Amino acid sequence: MNQLAQLKQYTTVVADTGDFQAMQVFQPHDATTNPSLILKAVQKPDYRPLLDETVSAHRGKPVTDIIDHLLVAFGLKILAIIPGRVSTETDARLSFDTEGTIAKARHLIALYEAAGVKRERVLIKIASTWEGIRAAETLEKEGIRCNMTLLFSLPQAIACAEAGAQLISPFVGRIYDWFKKASGNDYSGADDPGVQSVKRIYEYYKKFGYTTEVMGASFRNTSQILELAGCDLLTISPELLQKMADTDGPVERKLSSEAAVKTELQKISLDEKAFRMALNEDAMATEKLAEGIRLFCADAVKLEQLIGA
């Protein structure tokens, strides 16, 4: 079997794209989207009709409302292809607004339910700020499942699990980028800081019995993916999915619950003050979280401009 087929034996494979054709080719179980991926997709000729149809159907409504309908339109198309769940992102400009995030999530779920989709098939993506985590805590109690994104540190992961979030998406590649730039060193295999971060989070969750799912994200190469074989889920771009599908060779399971419970990790308690201090002490996590929010906000604005035009 090729590497992709072998990986699927240990880990749920998720497509990190808004490209329907790629999903049909690689047959992932779940799919994730974000404003950047949707912006990229709607600029392709194959997806322009979906944008035109959505704008036409909701002409006269606020642009932010049209974007919500566009995100859900993509989600509905994706759910017709995959057997599992689709992740749909809230507006990154709400990253520090708990009540605004809750309202946006409820609105997106209402649009899905109006289209006949049960909320169990949708994950609402929320930035892993303190405010976003508090929003997820409320939403999970209402049966609205959350995918906590822009996650770069163990304190963020612990706070998300304590809040009862369904799933977290630690960003392997962006952690790697930061350390490569800061140190001038390249990293590979088990020495990759992004890989090490996800491994530590996975082990912490399994050792202390958290049910929140761990989904490694933002990969730069297949080596990072292979080092996390056995993680609950991995969300992978079409380019890297293709590389794995074209590559033979053994794939070894690297993460397991059995091994995790044997680690000597100590449990950490975090209130708001401790969370903010721990995040502040981690320069990489602080910088990448802020940068990620800025980038998603910028692409949300570009999407608004495209719709306005």
Q: Cβ distance 71 to 299 under 8 Å? A: no
CB hemisphere CA count around 180 (13 angstroms): 13
pLDDT band of residue 18 (cuts 50, 70, 90) is confident
Residue 235's pLDDT is what?
96
pLDDT of res. 196: 98
Q: What is the mean pLDDT of residues 141-147?
A: 98
Q: What is the pLDDT of residue 250?
A: 94
> Which of 167, 166, 126, 122 shows the shortest CA–CA distance to 150?
126
> What is the SS3 assignment for 14?
strand
How is residue 195 written in tokens? 């890989």
The sign of the torsion formed by the CA atoms of 249, 255, 257, 263 equals positive
What b/e string do you get for 172-185 counting C-beta neighbours within 10 Å, with b at 16 or more? bbbbbbbbbeeeee
Task: Return the DSSP state at 91.
Answer: P
pLDDT of residue 309: 84
Question: CA–CA separation, 286 vs 289, rounded Å?
Answer: 5
d(CA 14, CA 118): 19
Q: For residue 21, name the pLDDT band (cuts at 50, 70, 90).
A: confident
Lowest pLDDT segment from 17-21, 126-130, 238-242, 288-292: 17-21
**Over 90: is that where the pLDDT of 97 sits?**
yes
State the pLDDT at residue 36.
Answer: 85
% pLDDT > 90, the chain: 92
Task: Please measure the distance between the N-terminal and C-terminal CA atoms of the chain and give it in whole angstroms.
Answer: 47
For 27-79, write each residue's pLDDT tens digit.
Answer: 999 998 887 888 888 888 988 899 999 999 999 999 999 999 999 999 999 99
Torsion of CA 146, 42, 19, 54, to 10 degrees: 60
**Dmax of the chain from CA atoms?**
59
**Catalytic residue list:** 125
Superfamily of domain 13-308 in CATH is Aldolase class I (3.20.20.70)
Q: What pLDDT is stored for residue 33 in this prediction?
A: 84
- What's the rounded mean pLDDT across residues 132-156? 98
Each residue of 167-209: pLDDT tens digit? 999 999 999 999 999 999 999 999 999 999 999 999 999 999 9
In percent, how much of the chain has pLDDT > 70?
100
One-letter amino acid for residue 267 of the chain:
K
Helices (H) and strands (E) in the chain, counts: 15, 8
Q: Is 72 exposed, middle or buried (0-12, 13-18, 19+ CB in 10 A)?
A: buried
Identify the H or E element spanning 235.
strand 233-236
User: What average pLDDT is seen over the chain?
Assistant: 96
List pLDDT tens digits, range 209-265.
Answer: 999 999 999 999 999 999 999 999 999 999 999 999 999 999 999 999 999 999 999
